[in-house]
Amino acid sequence: MGKGGGCIFSKKRSTIEASDQDLADPVRDAPVQNQIENSLFQEESKKLKVFIVFYSMYGHVECLAKRMKKGVDSIDGVEGFLYRVPETLPMDVLEQMRVPQKEDELPFVSVDDLVEADGLLFGFPTRFGSMASQMKAFFDSTAHLWEQQSLAGVPAGFFVSTGTQGGGQETTAWTAITQLAHHGMVYVPIGYTFGAGMFKMDSIRGGSPYGAGVYSGDGTREPSETELALAEHQGRYMAGIVRRFATPRNN
């Protein structure tokens, strides 16, 4: 090929000959096209999966979860999936608590879905320094996975929401580690990998070495950009850990 990159016709070949031979032949090209499509499908199916499983009453944890998925998806070969855990409170109680309606676009997770994940991130608000009962009820329903140790060795982490600065940004995460221990999962905290953002004192910020976090206040406070950035970092960090150590569970 010359410097023109193949854009100049050869002097030994007519224009008609060149265009006739270069025309696409659907029958001839079909096997090649099928091979390309199959290759793309196989590459997609081999992607490592990080499930972001959360319960969010007023939307704060959901905001972190969606930003976390962005971080997961930024790592080549890894894809994030968002799942809700089922609500356990009756509708009339939720209405009295002025809980907003949830978006229908996000699916509810089933216990058996968890075995398809190469990594897991669990998000939940605090209730007196430990996870909300909705998430606890979900973990309580995983007994048959525990019996088979189906989740043993799977990397997992936490992210949380609290009402106040002393409301359990750390305790809500570390009291949940017992759930991972009994399943044999590998707890992956973020440490101080967020860098300088972990040390800033000029504004209120949720999150800790245990995982991303947000302050909800009375329910009306929105997550700050720093809190969302920390969530994205945790997603990216977990995806990197999964890619480094995991083998796709669907192989």
The domain segmentation of the chain, as residue ranges, is 48-245
Mean pLDDT score, 112-116: 97
User: Which tokens hold the place of 34?
Assistant: 């099928």
**Worst-scoring range by mean pLDDT, 35-44, 66-75, 123-132?**
35-44
Place of tokens 């608590």: 97
pLDDT category at 110 given cuts 50, 70, 90 is: very high
User: Which tokens hold the place of 104?
Assistant: 């229908």
Q: What is the pTM of this model?
A: 0.80
pLDDT tens digits, one per residue of 187-208: 999 999 999 888 888 878 889 9
Closest alpha carbon to 51 in 78, 86, 88, 87: 78
Q: SS3 of 126, please?
A: strand
Does residue 65 contact residue 123 with C-beta atoms inside 8 Å? yes
Phi, psi at 39, each rounded to 5°: -65, -40
Mention every residue, 6+ apart, whose C-beta is less than 8 A from residue 118.
Answer: 48, 49, 50, 78, 154, 155, 242, 246, 247, 248, 249
Place of tokens 């199959």: 38
User: Which tokens hold the place of 99?
Assistant: 């809980």
Residue 20 has pLDDT above 90, yes or no: no
Fold adopted by 48-245: Rossmann fold (3.40.50)
Mention every residue, 6+ apart, whose C-beta is less than 8 A from residue 101.
Answer: none
pLDDT, position 35: 56
Angle at 61 between CA 49 and CA 207, to 5 degrees: 95
